[in-house]
Amino acid sequence: MKKALITGVTGQDGAYLAEFLLAKGYEVHGIKRRSSLFNTARIDHIYEDPHNPSPHLILHYGDLTDSSSLIHIVQKVQPDEIYNLGAQSHVQVSFEQPEYTAEADALGPLRLLEAIRILGLEKKTKFYQASTSELYGLVQEIPQKETTPFYPRSPYAVAKMYAYWICVNYREAYGIFACNGILFNHESPLRGETFVTRKITRGLSRIKVGLQSQLFLGNLDSKRDWGHARDYVEMQWLMLQQEKPQDFVIATGQQYSVREFVQRCAKLLDLDLSWQGSGVDEKAVDANGNVVVAVDPRYFRPTEVETLLGDPAKAQRELGWVPRTSFDQLVADMVESDLKAAQRDALVRKHGFDAYNVRET
């Protein structure tokens, strides 16, 4: 039985990947951070009682900023594959926490690669690094592929650029089977609530059922190449099953603006929105003239990545990559899940539990 170790197992991709690897018969180990509240909601459905005699999912406390915890866990698990998905993954937050972001996102992967070396696992343990389309930042070529020059535009992207190159360097210097998956944005019902897609599907669903009146967004013109996380984690695994370690772009090859995402979502929810104004005064109003979507400059970034569009030709050729989920299906999947949650919350509120889950993102 192969053993995989996933950092960031409590995040969106970690949850889908853990489920995927368990179905493939792996023994899956995950690193979770200590938190004062339960933080395993995304993996509760596959959680196993640690008292089980031979559990398939085993969680360990650790942190990417703490070398000693990483070395102990890698030593104990002796993994065949490490998937480094853990990160401070929010681009805007990285402007407020640049140093922490560098610790977790740049030095975290270095610490894991060093753990492999210190423990003499260079020939045993394969390593996947969650690289990102944010590396392209101020784009130098359209669409972006593996050879497109990088121009990072945030502390997050700069940290991820260090991680990209340290992964390449340890592959070349020490022969570690290390791959960068340069993944473009991928979303799902498990997406964190403060990323724009989930903020939109959750916010408009709550507006639909009367739990919220307005949704505030930042740059509506920003364009992204959005795919489904469930499809993308399969490629993370496939990269480590190849004969030689390489880096791959995973993307759909199609892009949409944030405004278009709002429009698709509103249509699915039968919210009849019309757009008025421009720039910071742009808004979407409903049939009664109520402002439903407005721009709030607090969500503008000091340096923005305006447009990203991936060219996944290499992954198509060498990994057989074909995105299974279309943009429309992705939005529908997220809306269905958030509408159900909003309807449940509305019911709970109707029965008098007003304080329950009222936070807007």
Residues that bind ligand NDP (CB under 6 A): 7-8, 10-14, 31, 33, 35, 39, 63-65, 85-89, 104, 130, 132, 183, 185-186, 192
CB closer to ligand GDR, 115 vs 159: 159
Distances (CA, A) of 77 to 6, 33, 73, 87, 179: 11, 17, 6, 21, 20
Question: How would you class 294 by CB atoms within 10 Å of its CB: exposed for 0-12, middle for 13-18, buried for 19 or more?
Answer: middle
Angle at 127 between CA 121 and CA 133, to 5 degrees: 160
The minimum distance between CB 260 and ligand GDR, in angstroms, equals: 12
Which entry of ligand GDR, ligand NDP, none binds 88, CB below 5 to 8 A by partner kind? ligand NDP
Member of 145, 301, 314, 349 binding ligand GDR (CB under 6 A)? 301
Q: Which amino acid is at 221?
A: D
Segment contacting ligand GDR by CB under 6 A, of 43-51, 65-73, 121-129, 132-140: 132-140
Among 89, 148, 205, 255, binds ligand GDR (CB under 6 A): 89
Contact string 231-270 vs ligand GDR (x = CB under 6 A): ---------------------------x------------
Kindly indicate which of the ranges 55-63, 130-138, 324-332, 341-349 contains the residues binding ligand GDR, using the contact rule CB under 6 A.
130-138
The length of the chain is: 361
Give CA separation, 303 vs 54, 104, 134, 244, 357, in Å.
49, 21, 12, 36, 33
Residue 91, interface with ligand GDR (CB under 6 A)? yes
Residue 137 as a binder of ligand GDR (CB under 6 A): the answer is no
Distance CA 218, CA 6 (A): 33
The terminus-to-terminus CA distance of the chain in angstroms comes to 42
Give me the DSSP letters along 80-146.
SEEEE--S---HHHHHHSHHHHHIIIIIHHHHHHHHHHHTT-TTT-EEEEEEEGGGT-S-SSSSB-T
Q: Give the nearer residue to ligand GDR in terms of CB position, either 20 or 299.
A: 299
Q: What is the three-class DSSP state of 335?
A: helix
CA distances to 6, 155, 167, 184, 244 from 87, rounded to whole Å, are: 12, 12, 15, 16, 26
Considering only residues 178 to 237 of the shown chain, the ones binding ligand GDR according to CB under 6 A are 184-185, 194-196, 199, 217-219, 222, 224
Closest approach of ligand NDP to the CB of residue 104, in Å: 4
Q: Which does 304 bind (CB under 5 to 8 A by kind): ligand GDR, ligand NDP, none?
A: ligand GDR
CB of 52 to ligand NDP, least distance (A): 23
> Which residues pair with residue 32 across a beta bridge?
61
Q: How far is the CB of 162 from ligand GDR (least distance, A)?
A: 14
Q: Confirm if 336 and 343 have CB atoms less than 8 A apart.
A: no
In terms of CB distance, is 30 or 203 closer to ligand NDP?
30
Contact 9, 43 (CB under 8 A): yes
> Could you tell which of ligand NDP, ligand GDR, none binds residue 224, using a CB distance below 5 to 8 A set by kind?
ligand GDR
- Choose the one of ligand GDR, ligand NDP, none that binds residue 65, judging by a C-beta under 5 to 8 angstroms depending on kind: ligand NDP
- How is residue 303 annotated by DSSP? S
Task: For ligand GDR, give the closer residue by CB, 12 or 69.
Answer: 12
Cβ distance to ligand NDP smaller for residue 185 or 222: 185
Strands 27-32 and 57-61: parallel
Active-site residues: which are they? 132, 134, 156
Residues near ligand GDR (CB under 6 A) are 89, 91-92, 132-134, 184-185, 194-196, 199, 217-219, 222, 224, 258, 299, 301, 304-305
